[in-house]
Amino acid sequence: MYETVDLMPTKVAIVAALKREVKPLIKSWTAVQREYSGRPYEFFESNHLVLVCAGIGSEAARRATEAVIAIYAPELIISAGFAGALDRSLKVGDSFVPRQIIDAGDGSVSETESGSGTLVSFGSIATAEQKAKLGTAYAAQAVDMEAAAVARAAHVHGTRFACVKAISDDQDFDMPDMERFVNDGQFSTSRFVAHSIAQPWLWPRVIRLAKNSASAANSLCKLLEQYNRNPEFLENVPAAVHLISKHKG
């Protein structure tokens, strides 16, 4: 059973995958529990923004986007989160605002309202080998798993769409095998940690992954905070800023 609250006008809804991606941003926001289509969701509210952590993968992203549109009726949906680099010039902590989203599953293309470059949404966590192939096949600079599904749901409802990503892994970084620890879009950190502890040869990659994730989260949240401070950020940002933003320290 969830408490209800009076909704404030919402201009922008952010759909992320995991809370750890946006933790620096939402630490002082108001958490609200709501249910949609039989599923519980935790929304985070601040001024004209609301954020929902959908879980990993396209289906989880689609469901959460449908929920936030139905409950909050935002004017703009932002797909936000981590992405893997497909371009060697992109480094961990860089932010990326793509103009085009390609769904690797069916080849469909979604345009955003601002930005430059291409993000491809892939059906699984991409290995280094897969990242190299995706970059060549789609002339894309980065890869994620959710943006295309969020874009599609926004389009169905006639809601404006944008995308903001932060690079969490370089092109040649091979992610640890994490697929087995995802169930219905939710990642089991405890199971992953237990698995990693039992396999010492994984420790260097896991430690690097943790550091990369922290760097990406800080960069992502700094950029998203601009939406919180200025509702017209997308419309007013000069074109040059839409290029890849390099992380400094």
pLDDT in tens, 4-30: 344 444 688 999 998 889 999 999 999
Name, in order, each residue with C-beta under 8 angstroms of 87's C-beta and a sequence gap of 6 or more.
Answer: 135, 141, 142, 171
The confidence band for 238, taking pLDDT boundaries of 50, 70 and 90, is very low
45-58 core/surface letters (b: 16 or more CB in 10 A; e: else)? beebbbbbbbbbbb
Residue 212 has pLDDT above 80, yes or no: yes
Average pLDDT of the chain, as a whole number:
83
Question: In the chain, which ranges are continuous DSSP H helix?
Answer: 19-26, 58-72, 128-138, 147-156, 189-197, 203-229, 233-236
Mean pLDDT on 37-55:
92
pLDDT digits (tens, 9 = 90+) for 153-177: 999 999 999 999 999 999 988 766 6
Mean pLDDT on 38-61:
92
Any idea which architecture 12-232 has in CATH? 3-Layer(aba) Sandwich (3.40)
The confidence band for 189, taking pLDDT boundaries of 50, 70 and 90, is low
Where exactly are the structural domains of the chain? Answer: 12-232
Residue 246 has pLDDT above 60, yes or no: no
pLDDT digits (tens, 9 = 90+) for 82-131: 999 999 999 999 999 999 999 999 999 999 978 889 999 999 889 999 99
Structure-token pair, residue 243: 């290029």
* pLDDT for residue 241: 34
